[in-house]
Amino acid sequence: MSRTILEVTDLRKDYRQRRGLVSMLTGQGRVIPAVDGVSFYLRENETVGLVGESGCGKTTIGRTVLRLTDASSGRIVFDGRDITTLSRAELRPLRREMQMIFQDLDAGLNPEMRVRDILREALTVHERPSDAEIAGRVRELLEQVSLKDSKLANFPSELSGGEKRRVGIARVLAVRPRLIVADEPTSALDISIQAQVVNLLRDLQKNLGLTYLFISHDLPVVELVSQKVAVMYLGRIVEMGLAERIAHQPRHPYTGILWSSLADKQTTEVTRRVTNVAVERERRTWGVFDFEQPTSGCRFAPRCPLYKEKGRPAICTDPASEPQLRDVGHGHVVACHFA
Ligand SMILES: Nc1ncnc2c1ncn2[C@@H]1O[C@H](COP(=O)(O)OP(=O)(O)O)[C@@H](O)[C@H]1O
Ligand code: SF4
Ligand SMILES: [Mg+2]
């Protein structure tokens, strides 16, 4: 079995949100527990998918495990070394090994630089290669992401969305990372291009032995690329296991909902919009997406169909018994009293 490259234990990240003049002046503000006690691990050369609706804390996890932002508490071990509190200087040599593909297609693409210079810059961040070495590596990167030579002379504004994504991936590959956090790498792209990017990432993993934490709100995409999947709801993992089990035998009511809203392939733009309207309405009614008004007990209770079906059992909203992840066999864990 391949070795563990990343181990995250009881990770928490609170944001302090300052709203209004008083909180600005006093420096006080309400605390948003964006990541609220999350644990998982990644083995070398595998992909773990992190899925959940917008705002549940996926990006925050990605940024925190790469130390782009500091954790409030918890432990992050990369390649056997505790990196939770390493200083900037200590982190520097590790930066190249852990990279992030940002959701924003323009991230890292300086609009004033041509693709050639963007790649050259990425190649010289950590090393001082010769011009000939740079030229060789640029060619290799283009090949790896299937971009034509002619694109080297283009500015980012002259590229399509798919081409920008490829340049962004080439930039990340330039430093020869081992672990990549891919944050919604396909969400800003047309459906046909999404499939190409997914295939590209899969090929790169195979050829370069990469390890991915693959973040997406789109469960079918996550299932396609991941060996294991973690489902998040409001800052917590509510279900985690092998991708095929999460896909075909989900045990948490929330995962079931994520699937059923997509299962009918008429989930075309129209249905999607309708679903969003329903979710929006629910958000306003329940305030469930508002970290300001956490529910007691299971945080999913206000939206849970099983809770309603079972006649609103008291244990679901008991402040003393928030459901914890429990092994239901085959390494599949679920946080629901009735799973
Ligand atoms: N820099 C920040 N300051 C304050 N709140 C933040 C910040 N970044 C994210 N949040 C809040 O943390 C929660 C999780 O955000 P995020 O990790 O971006 O979720 P996701 O990637 O799943 O959409 C959200 O409520 C978001 O508004
Ligand atoms: S613990 Fe209760 S409210 Fe929470 S997911 Fe399970 S059935 Fe639903
Ligand atoms: Mg995000």
Q: Which numbered ligand comes closest to the C-alpha of 57?
A: 1
The answer to whether residue 290 scores a pLDDT higher than 70 is no
The CATH code of the domain at 4-97+177-250 is 3.40.50.300
Cα 216 to chain centroid, rounded: 6
Mean pLDDT across the stretch 229-245?
A: 96
Which ligand is in closest contact with the Cα of 253?
Answer: 2
CA of 24 to the centre of ligand 1 (A): 19
The HSE-up count of residue 144 (CA atoms within 13 Å, CB side) is 24
Whether the pLDDT of residue 268 is over 50: the answer is no
Whole-number Å distance between alpha carbons of 58 and 6: 16
**Quick one: pLDDT at residue 177?**
97
Mutate to test the pocket of ligand 2, among 307, 309, 326 (most ligand atoms within 8 A of CB): 307
| Cα distance between residue 325 and residue 267, in whole Å | 31
Does 199 sit in the ligand 1 pocket, CB within 6 Å?
A: no
The band of 314, judged by pLDDT with boundaries at 50, 70 and 90, is: very high
Question: What's the pLDDT at 267?
Answer: 40
Q: Ligand 1 atom closest to Cα of 217? A: 22
Interatomic CA distance for residues 124 and 101, integer angstroms: 19
Give the number of the atom of ligand 1 that is nearest the alpha carbon of residue 35: 14
Which range scores top for mean pLDDT: 228-232, 264-268, 300-304? 228-232
> What is the reported pLDDT for 295?
67
CB-CB contact of 325 with 334 (8 Å): yes
User: What number does the ligand 2 atom closest to the CA of 306 have?
Assistant: 7
Average pLDDT over residues 28-51: 93
**pLDDT for 272:** 43
Q: Determine whether the shortest distance from the Cβ of 64 to ligand 1 is under 6 A.
A: no
Centre of ligand 3 to C-alpha 187, Å, is 10
**Ligand 2 mean position to 299 CA, how many Å?**
8
Mean pLDDT across the chain, nearest whole number? 89
| Among the ranges given (36-40, 180-184, 202-206, 302-306), the one the predictor scored with the smallest mean pLDDT | 302-306
pLDDT of residue 147: 97
pLDDT tens, residue by residue, 81-116: 999 999 999 999 999 999 999 999 999 999 999 999
Whole-number Å distance, alpha carbon 222 to ligand 1 midpoint, is 20
User: For residue 64, which of 54, 81, 49, 78 has the smallest C-alpha distance?
Assistant: 78
For ligand 1, atom 14, the nearest C-alpha belongs to: 57
Burial 104-116 (b: 16+ CB within 10 A, else e): ebeebbeeeebbb
Of residues 123, 215, 108, the one with CA closest to residue 168: 108
Give the tens place of pLDDT for each residue, 105-155. 999 999 999 999 999 999 999 889 999 999 999 999 999 999 999 999 999
216 lines ligand 1 (CB under 6 A): no
**Cα 67 from Cα 6, distance rounded (Å):** 12
Site to substitute for ligand 1 among 38, 50, 59, most atoms within 8 A of C-beta: 59
Average pLDDT score over residue span 150-170? 98
- Give the residue among 160, 168, 219 at the shortest CA–CA distance from 190: 160
**Cα 327–66–36 angle (5° rounding)?**
45
Say which residue, 36 or 274, is predicted with more confidence. Answer: 36
pLDDT of residue 170: 98
Which residue, 234, 183, 214, is CA-closest to 36?
Answer: 234
Task: Specify the pTM.
Answer: 0.90
- pLDDT at residue 206, as a whole number: 96
Confidence of residue 22 (pLDDT cuts 50, 70, 90): low
Q: CB neighbours of 120 closer than 8 A, spacing ≥ 6?
A: 134, 138
Strand arrangement, sheet containing 333-334: 98-101, 179-183, 211-216, 47-51, 228-233, 236-242, 333-334, 326-327
Domain ranges of the chain: 4-97+177-250
Confidence of residue 258 (pLDDT cuts 50, 70, 90): confident
222, 230 Cβ separation under 8 angstroms: no
Q: Ligand 1 in contact with 13 (CB < 6 A)? A: no
> Residues lining ligand 2, judged by CB closer than 6 Å?
253, 298, 300-301, 304, 306-307, 316, 323, 336-338
287 pLDDT above the threshold of 80: no
